[in-house]
Structure 1
């Protein structure tokens, strides 16, 4: 079976979705499948072996120029192809290619027009690649924003087309009107071109059925998976002052400021505790982080930011230094890979009671849920784990064991192959 996964590069940042796509592709390869991980917009950046193809489709620079310039769209492809080369895209990301939905409304609608819009050249290029050279048995798009390409692809190759939904609503909600409503309507209309949709939680299935007005019968829930090979942390005290950790992208929606508010309450009760944050910080969110650091100035060296770990070993070392992890998101998280990564290293979690978190805690038994947006409740839950170390170790042990049992790459790959086999058989 040849599976093509179309992923979206994160413009030079560590992006949870493309990192999971890479892990997914690796797991399928390990199970004997032939996999093409096809990047779009920019090359992907991961902290493990990168298995994506060298060719990038819908290069971010070319997409931007096609959106802005009729002259560029009319130029022969031989004169414009260089802007989509990986070296040119990597160079562009150094100067801050925007992935901010607030600035991308019109371009999003252009993308959804497919071959009938300004990106016709890019659409047909991708369709030709699938029909002529790659020739997969099934294609999975990693988000719905490329739905405009599905019709052209189906004209080239008649195979099942799947779409993974894993945060599309977060992007769409950031669009300003009228772009938001128009994009949602366009995706709803284009959904008929897909044979099925993949999600990683029942919560997100139900939410996206309502949000996009889709048929629930076309949805399939697959487990998340992480490469557990190096995640060897054990449930234990770190030997340092009790350390609360945050590990996710530094941005308002992930809720670092909320964690700082809760930690301030905890620190007033227990001055010895520490808060360590790690994660990618992009240009868009530097002002936000400056505000967080200013607000945390009264905490002194009790609060620290270690930056973005450059590789898996550094990430695991950071996670092992924690006693508990909390990422109190404002939005309703559709997946939450950081929860699995913490638990895989014997670190329990305290998370808001919304989104996919209740399902994750129920499946792993590795954490505590608190009322969202309540710093006092979060501080109380963290303090309870300080006071009852045996309870913390119990959560950590159960969570670690279940993650290694239920969320490894083998199970993710096997469930995926079962689904793809059914979809291919039904399509014949």
Structure 2
């Protein structure tokens, strides 16, 4: 799927290069998939198929390395994961723990291979991990590359942990806490996440640095949003199609409003990646829409590439993604604002801080059907407010949330 973290990390890598940093973006588990040009290396460490089979069949470590390396061939991994559904949480928990155990886990050989590559070929001044869950190698890296500074981005680690069985979750948290001493700096996008992860993993305050969430604004400048009278109010959603992203809550609010005479012009426009496991979820939503007789006012636009995504966002009057969980980021909100579209978000996770920083939308109490509907109705009835929010966001995005500013900030943090 298009992974928000992958797209963000890819943009940061490009920005660091533009700031004079010799930056290498190295994929772990699978090739990254972005909606813009990838700068990642083709080689994969800890190939997803390979590490999974090592977990399930420990005897595989006796298979010749040359044969097992074929499992890390990027086209094979893409083929294996293109229609992937969910993984058994029990097996996922065992694999997560084994990975965090590093040289003591079943993927020890891969830990040694990654460390040797860093030590012999890269010799990095700074190593940046996109999350701590892939940090099982850090104690060995710290031992063999003592001069390398280690930075870790925290961007959703807790969400993964919360899906593990309780016993596995507790063990994983203990292992993650033990890795904190091998990290020089943790990077977070919000005070909310700094507090949450600091408490969960016992991270000292002095090791945490806040780096505002950012996007590459350049592509969003090419096609300014069309002005003039419109015949409909386009309420939009852009995120993965899944229960945790809250599309069903937006549909609840839409059904509540769309039957009113004053909202006969409202349509619901939905876009985002849909995995096989969540097809029944979308089908149930579409069935509800049909039962209400509103099928002509609901459209699922698929998973758009960057140019299509920009056109989609520019067509909206309001974006709303009422997540069930406490989102630590919210890249979709910045993308909408960059297209001149205000946002409506639940007031939990990092959203409140993001709205405060950008001025590009409003927040409502989370998991509150009526509050969500009221917020949509308020913004629909007040086009001047929507225009004001969009204008504020345009200024603040460039000052605080551009990928260039993040690149400069990170460059200044590096030794």
For residue 255 of structure 2, the aligned residue among 257, 264, 267 is 264
Offset of residue 302 of structure 1:
1.2
For residue 44 of structure 2, the aligned residue among 56, 60, 76 is 56
Q: Using a 3 Å threshold, how does the CA distance of structure 1 residues 301 and 101 change in structure 2: closer, same or farther?
A: farther
> Which region of structure 1 is more displaced relative to structure 2, 200-209 or 284-293?
284-293
Offset of residue 284 of structure 1:
2.1
Q: Using a 3 Å threshold, how does the CA distance of structure 1 residues 387 and 237 change in structure 2: closer, same or farther?
A: farther
Does structure 1 retain, via aligned residues, the 8 Å contact 2:216–2:404? no
TM-score (norm 2): 0.95
Offset of residue 393 of structure 1:
0.6
Counterpart for residue 189 of structure 1: 178
In structure 2, distance between residues paired with 1:238 and 1:294: 32
Counterpart for residue 78 of structure 2: 90
In structure 2, distance between residues paired with 1:416 and 1:99: 35
SS in structure 2 of the partner of residue 231 of structure 1: helix
Offset of residue 336 of structure 1:
0.3
Residues 1:153 and 2:141 aligned together: yes
Q: Using a 3 Å threshold, how does the CA distance of structure 1 residues 206 and 119 change in structure 2: closer, same or farther?
A: same
SS in structure 1 of the partner of residue 388 of structure 2: helix
Q: Using a 3 Å threshold, how does the CA distance of structure 1 residues 98 and 238 change in structure 2: closer, same or farther?
A: farther
Counterpart for residue 10 of structure 1: none
Offset of residue 409 of structure 1:
1.6
Counterpart for residue 305 of structure 1: 300
Counterpart for residue 417 of structure 1: 411
Does structure 2 retain, via aligned residues, the 8 Å contact 1:235–1:396? no
Counterpart for residue 188 of structure 2: 199
Counterpart for residue 379 of structure 1: 373
**1:8-53 superposed Cα distances (whole Å, 9 cap, x missing partner):** xxxxx10001110000101111111111100011000001110001
Counterpart for residue 112 of structure 1: 100
Counterpart for residue 154 of structure 2: 165
Offset of residue 214 of structure 1:
2.0
In structure 1, distance between residues paired with 2:138 and 2:10: 22
Counterpart for residue 133 of structure 1: 121
Q: Using a 3 Å threshold, how does the CA distance of structure 1 residues 127 and 237 change in structure 2: closer, same or farther?
A: farther
> Which region of structure 1 is more displaced relative to structure 2, 116-125 or 402-411?
402-411
In structure 1, distance between residues paired with 2:399 and 2:286: 38
In structure 1, distance between residues paired with 2:213 and 2:88: 26
Counterpart for residue 8 of structure 1: none
TM-score (norm 1): 0.92
Offset of residue 162 of structure 1:
1.3
For residue 369 of structure 1, the aligned residue among 363, 377, 381 is 363
Residues 1:228 and 2:235 aligned together: no
Counterpart for residue 344 of structure 1: 338
Which residues in structure 2 correspond to 1:194-343 (within 5 Å)?
194-232=183-221, 233-234=224-225, 236=227, 239-269=230-260, 270-297=263-290, 298=292, 299-309=294-304, 311-343=305-337
**1:111-162 superposed Cα distances (whole Å, 9 cap, x missing partner):** 0110111001111111111111112110011111112110121233121111
Question: How many residue pairs align between the two structures?
Answer: 408
Counterpart for residue 388 of structure 2: 394
Offset of residue 273 of structure 1:
0.2
SS in structure 2 of the partner of residue 178 of structure 1: helix
Q: Using a 3 Å threshold, how does the CA distance of structure 1 residues 43 and 237 change in structure 2: closer, same or farther?
A: farther
Would you identify which runs of 4 or more consecutive aligned residues in structure 1 move more than 6 Å? none
SS in structure 1 of the partner of residue 329 of structure 2: coil
**1:244-290 superposed Cα distances (whole Å, 9 cap, x missing partner):** 00001111111000000011112122122001010001122222222
Does structure 1 retain, via aligned residues, the 8 Å contact 2:254–2:373? yes
